[in-house]
Structure 1
């Protein structure tokens, strides 16, 4: 049967725990994106650091393998919706953690108007009311691919799928109120 794969931390904690500027910045992001805890924020910051580290290494590298890796990195970031198709490697260095947080399923559900608040978007996802390509996703931190973005809907088995659901009516009225 073999040994199970070792679970590793997917985030790096800050080097110093009490830097006021960082704490203030994190507090604003936690509230804006309705994150459960700092670990979620640190995970996306670490992901961004890894993209930027690879880009810096590839900017300095020469050769055919470096070209292949450059194309793969840019293609990956394009698929995630973080960069446009015609982006250069320098554009990777200008990405911010907010760019990554904007690609979370939780944020996109809110921006598409499927939820009144970003907190409600998180609840709908965790409770299994949201699907992508017919597949229920229960992770609010799921990074949505560019081609999946248009397929975010209410789950077919969810009560929210009915147009007559009371909460759907409230959400629709809120949308119309914002439009006028």
Structure 2
């Protein structure tokens, strides 16, 4: 029987609990990556600080062992998809927490379109619907390697193409198709005909000509009656 050791924290929280800028950044990251609490950010922050501390130590170590450790560290980060081929120790010092958060199993499932939301991705992992290299994994914080194969578990109902959730995803993909609207042809403006206006003017003139003499004749008859 082995020695039972006291479990210790594998992370350290913020040195100052009430920093407004840090609290706001953590709130945004928690919402963006669907984290359960800020403790998950602190765990990755501690892991990242340990990696950078090791990189700083290896910069000054020029021994054969130091060179081997440099190669192993860079190779490990390349396998995680955090660094690219040809990276150096200086590139390690520029790694951000966001890069580690993007490689979590929960984030990768959402990126690959296996889940629709971060909350759904976490639920799928916790309920054993996801496999990594054909092995069921229920750890949302697992850092996915570039060589890992993510898929639904054979016993998962999501393997059925007619599952309601998969049908919803297909409908959403169809909605994203760009619809090109063709411009409507403008109807030619109707220009007034030249013959209509003169007719109206002629009719008005004829009415004035015919009405004026009648009125003059009636006035003359009234004058004659008065004089008689």
Instruction: State if a TM-score over 0.5 links the two structures.
Output: yes
Is the partner of 1:164 in helix, strand or coil? coil
Query: Hey, what does 1:142 align to over in structure 2?
Result: 142
Report the Cα offset of residue 9 of structure 1: 1.1
Query: Hey, what does 1:114 align to over in structure 2?
Result: 114
Q: Which has the larger radius of gyration?
A: 2
CA-to-partner distance for each residue in 1:47-96, whole Å, 9 max, x for gaps? Answer: 11111111111112221111011011101111111111221111101100
Query: Hey, what does 2:4 align to over in structure 1?
Result: 4
Which of 1 and 2 has higher RCO (CA within 8 Å, sep 6+)?
Answer: 1
What is the aligned residue count? 178
Query: Hey, what does 1:133 align to over in structure 2?
Result: 133
Unaligned runs of 5+ in 2: 179-228
Q: 1:178 to 1:4 in 2, by over 3 A?
A: farther
Pair 1:78-2:57 in alignment: no
Of the structure 1 ranges 115-124 and 1-10, higher mean CA displacement relative to structure 2 is found in 1-10
Of the structure 1 ranges 78-87 and 19-28, higher mean CA displacement relative to structure 2 is found in 78-87
For 2:83 and 2:104, how far apart are their aligned partners in 1? 15
Pair 1:162-2:160 in alignment: yes
Unaligned runs of 5+ in 1: none
For 1:176 and 1:6, how far apart are their aligned partners in 2? 54
Report the Cα offset of residue 113 of structure 1: 0.6
TM-score (structure 1 length as normaliser): 0.94
Query: Hey, what does 2:65 align to over in structure 1?
Result: 65
1:134 and 1:155 in contact (8 A); partners too: yes
1:80 and 1:145 in contact (8 A); partners too: yes
1:114 and 1:171 in contact (8 A); partners too: no
1:116 and 1:174 in contact (8 A); partners too: no
TM-score (structure 2 length as normaliser): 0.75
For 2:59 and 2:28, how far apart are their aligned partners in 1? 33
1:113 and 1:175 in contact (8 A); partners too: no
Report the Cα offset of residue 10 of structure 1: 1.5
